[in-house]
């Protein structure tokens, strides 16, 4: 593919590029699946290739030889990571995967919307600066999901802090200090979730797990904490990218917020890519791959493929995110209440950059010092 002057250097750099979407569109059509020598991995970009990789029995979520990232091994964060069903393909996680999907699927939509609106209204009332706005878009999903799990109101703030520290510690670029803080946070969160009583989503997850034959209370608690982690960055990115879309195109207001969010999920999704690892040699998406090969699955490029049958923003196949409805509900409430609190999207497009990440596109807003958002 002939590079254009404004192209990102590669599909990973594209995540934080100013405008990677012309590049993604050409990648999906011109290089649907190829081996990138500089990155040392395969890249799947077209809708057909992405679907094939995500559905392949040869591909795993983690390298078979390293089910837990090396830097997390031997830590509380590593123990929690190893229990997350979305990070594992092993048979022992099968029953709990069903339980997790069932628990998320039985969340009452009206209740989730009401909780999302209530917390979005409360938290948005404190927005006075771009830093306040950044805090808002990250905190909101934790407050909502933790409330649905059954976390008491007075523990929501520490839960949000621990979730942020755990997410930072899980990142591939995490420093030793971030890994240590993330590990402490993971231990705090798992203890908090494990001690919950009442009839929240965690109680439902426990019931679903027991019906599926999974009695491991530690793993159930870890996956309850995983609910917080899995919505944290993706929902923040969806709120931020939706506000940015409104900043760049004020006419989108007329389309209605649901339509705007749907458009953002296709055209500027928070989760840009994911990875798969080849467990044994064979044919994947029409290419002969070796055991140990890694595949970068560029979801954002597949969304731009004219042949795409549906959105890939929440993945596909057996590892598709089961929390799509909840994430969009929280994001809708966040954008709606931020606007209702007086946040003006227009200044947000000034000097926007993106949080360093190899996977998730989250805008960092910088408005002229002293200029109030509401």
pLDDT per residue over 21-67, tens digit each? 999 999 999 999 999 999 999 999 999 999 999 999 999 999 989 99
Q: Does the pLDDT of residue 343 top 60, yes or no? A: yes
Distance CA 72, CA 373 (A): 39
Can you give the CATH number for the domain in which 116 is found?
1.10.630.10
Task: Locate 257 and state its tokens.
Answer: 């917020």
| SS3 track for 60-123 | ECCCCCCCCCHHHCCCHHHHHHHHCHHHCCCHHHHHHHHHHHHHHHCCCHHHHHHHHHHHHHHH
Q: Is residue 40 part of a domain?
A: no
Q: Is residue 144 part of a domain?
A: yes
Q: Is residue 8 part of a domain?
A: no
Decide: 217 and 194 in contact? Cβ < 8 Å. Answer: yes
Distance CA 17, CA 9 (A): 9
Task: Locate 16 and state its tokens.
Answer: 């934080």
**What predicted TM-score, i.e. pTM, was given to this entire model?**
0.94
User: With pLDDT > 70 as the criterion, what percentage of the chain qualifies?
Assistant: 95
Q: What is the mean pLDDT of the chain?
A: 92
Q: Does the pLDDT of residue 182 top 60, yes or no? A: yes
Average pLDDT over residues 183-205: 93
- List the one residue out of 227, 223, 243, 234 whose CA is nearest residue 314: 234
Q: Is residue 304 part of a domain?
A: no
Q: Does the pLDDT of residue 367 top 90, yes or no? A: no
pLDDT of residue 315: 75
Q: Is residue 330 part of a domain?
A: yes
Cα 69 versus chain centre, distance: 18
User: What is the span of the domain harbouring residue 161?
Assistant: 47-273+318-363
Average pLDDT over residues 286-295: 97
Average pLDDT over residues 354-361: 96
Distance CA 29, CA 23 (A): 10
- List the one residue out of 213, 240, 229 whose CA is nearest residue 164: 229
Q: For residue 274, name the pLDDT band (cuts at 50, 70, 90).
A: very high
Cα-based distances in Å from 323 to 75, 102, 315, 328: 27, 11, 11, 9
Distance CA 88, CA 134 (A): 31
Task: Locate 212 and state its tokens.
Answer: 């599926």
State the DSSP string of 342-360: T--SGGGGTT-EE---SSB
Q: Among all chains, which residue has been given the structure tokens 């993945």?
A: 315
Would residue 341 be called left, alpha or beta, if left means φ above 0 and alpha means ψ between -120 and 50 degrees?
alpha
Q: Is residue 257 part of a domain?
A: yes
pLDDT of residue 7: 96
User: With pLDDT > 90 as the criterion, what percentage of the chain qualifies?
Assistant: 78
Give the number of other CB atoms < 10 A from CB of residue 187: 18
> What residues contact residue 350 under an 8 Å CB cut-off, 6+ apart?
366, 367, 368
Give the residue, 230 or 361, on which the prediction is more confident: 361
- Number of domains making up the chain: 1
Q: Does the pLDDT of residue 90 top 80, yes or no? A: no
pLDDT of residue 104: 84
Q: Is residue 25 part of a domain?
A: no
> What residues contact residue 256 under an 8 Å CB cut-off, 6+ apart?
none
Q: Is residue 226 part of a domain?
A: yes
pLDDT of residue 253: 82
């Amino acid at each position: 593919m002939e590079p254009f002057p404004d192209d990102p250097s590669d599909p990973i750099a594209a995540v934080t590029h100013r405008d990677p979407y012309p590049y993604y569109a050409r990648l999906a059509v011109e290089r649907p699946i190829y081996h990138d020598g500089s990155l040392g991995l395969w890249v799947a970009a077209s809708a057909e290739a992405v679907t094939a990789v995500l559905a392949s029995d040869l591909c795993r979520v983690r390298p078979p030889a390293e089910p837990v990232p090396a830097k997390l091994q031997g830590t509380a964060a590593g123990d929690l990571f190893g229990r997350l069903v979305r990070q594992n393909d092993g048979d022992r996680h099968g029953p709990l995967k069903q339980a997790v999907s069932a628990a998320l699927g039985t969340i009452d939509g009206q209740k989730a919307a009401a909780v999302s609106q209530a917390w979005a209204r409360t938290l948005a009332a404190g927005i006075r600066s771009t830093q306040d706005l950044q805090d808002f878009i990250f905190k909101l999903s934790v407050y909502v999901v933790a409330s649905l799990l059954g976390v008491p109101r007075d523990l929501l703030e520490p839960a949000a802090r621990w979730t942020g520290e755990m997410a930072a510690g899980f990142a591939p670029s995490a420093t030793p200090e971030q890994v240590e803080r993330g590990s402490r946070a993971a231990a705090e969160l798992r203890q908090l979730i494990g001690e919950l009583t009442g009839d929240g989503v965690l109680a439902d997850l426990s019931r679903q797990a027991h019906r599926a034959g999974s009695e491991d209370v530690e793993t159930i608690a870890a996956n309850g904490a995983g609910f917080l982690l899995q919505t944290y960055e993706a929902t923040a990115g969806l709120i931020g990218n939706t506000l940015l879309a409104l900043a760049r195109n004020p006419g989108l207001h007329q389309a209605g917020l649901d339509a705007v969010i749907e458009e953002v999920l296709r055209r500027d999704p928070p989760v840009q890519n994911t990875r798969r690892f080849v467990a044994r040699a064979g044919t994947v998406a029409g290419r002969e791959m070796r055991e140990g090969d890694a595949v970068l699955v560029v979801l954002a490029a597949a969304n731009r493929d004219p042949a795409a049958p549906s959105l890939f923003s929440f993945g596909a196949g057996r590892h598709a995110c089961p929390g799509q409805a909840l994430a969009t509900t929280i994001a809708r409430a966040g954008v709606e209440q931020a606007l209702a609190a007086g946040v003006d999207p227009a200044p947000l497009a000034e000097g926007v950059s993106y949080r360093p990440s190899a996977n998730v596109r989250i805008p960092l807003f910088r408005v002229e010092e002293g200029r109030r958002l509401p």
